[in-house]
Amino acid sequence: VAGGSDITQGLPRVEEIFECRPPKGEAMISEVDGKIIDMVSENKKSITLKIETTEGEIVEYQIPNESTIIVAKGQLIGKGTQFNEGHIDLKKLFETMGQEAIQRYVIGEIQTIYAAQGEGINDKHVEVIIRQMLSRVKVISAGDTDLLPGDIVEKDQFEESNKEAVAAKEEVATGEQLIMGITKVALSTESFLSAASFQETARVLINAAVTGKDDHLRGLKENVIIGRLIPAGTGYRK
């Protein structure tokens, strides 16, 4: 039986990670701290792991029978512990363990892929991409800001709106940190010029025209498009 690492290799696996797709041969992770008290094969399709949490509750996980289990009965586990061979779903890992765990996992996976091909890559290149994957916030409550509940906005824009609300002694917005694939991140950028240069050009430009959007030209792409100096080095302006 092929493990998760045998199913997708090389660049397809890199794309799967950066697009934040559910992986082929997904590995399950624990959402609780506790101890594995039993492992039962109740049918031909799955094995049931029974875990007693630190609060004394019993939690069960169904592991596909064809996958290789890498934990044992009686083992103490923590949140994020991997039960079987394969690749972890980034969104589930983010919900369970948070931002730092995602950063460590993605860097480790990318380094492993490149090392298998006999190549080296500096962590900083991966870190720049991870930063973009974690750069969006979903607005839960708008408070007295100009944001709308349900909107997905850039973290900088969210923080800027809240700073203005604090300065005016008004209610701030609340939001939920998201993890998104790099294609979705590029299409949800505040700059309509940057988004239009990437994909779905007609839809992006029509939406910008209908809603009367302004482009503040803060990024590299939008400045290159209109022939201005990029906001870096001698072209940087505060």
Percent of the chain with pLDDT over 90: 52
pTM: 0.80
* pLDDT tens profile 46-83: 888 999 999 989 999 989 888 888 999 999 999 999 99
The DSSP bridge pattern shows strands 46-53 and 34-40 to be antiparallel
Considering the segment(s) 133-235 as one domain, its CATH architecture is Orthogonal Bundle (1.10)
CATH number for 4-130: choose from 3.40.470.10, 2.40.50.100, 3.40.50.300, 1.20.1440.130: 2.40.50.100
| Average pLDDT score over the chain | 88
CA–CA dist 198, 219 (Å, integer): 14
Tokens of residue 211, six digits: 């809603």
What DSSP letter does each residue of 34-45 carry, written as one string?
EEEEEEE--SSS
More confident residue, 89 or 120: 89
Domain residue extents for the chain:
4-130, 133-235
* pLDDT tens profile 104-113: 999 999 999 9
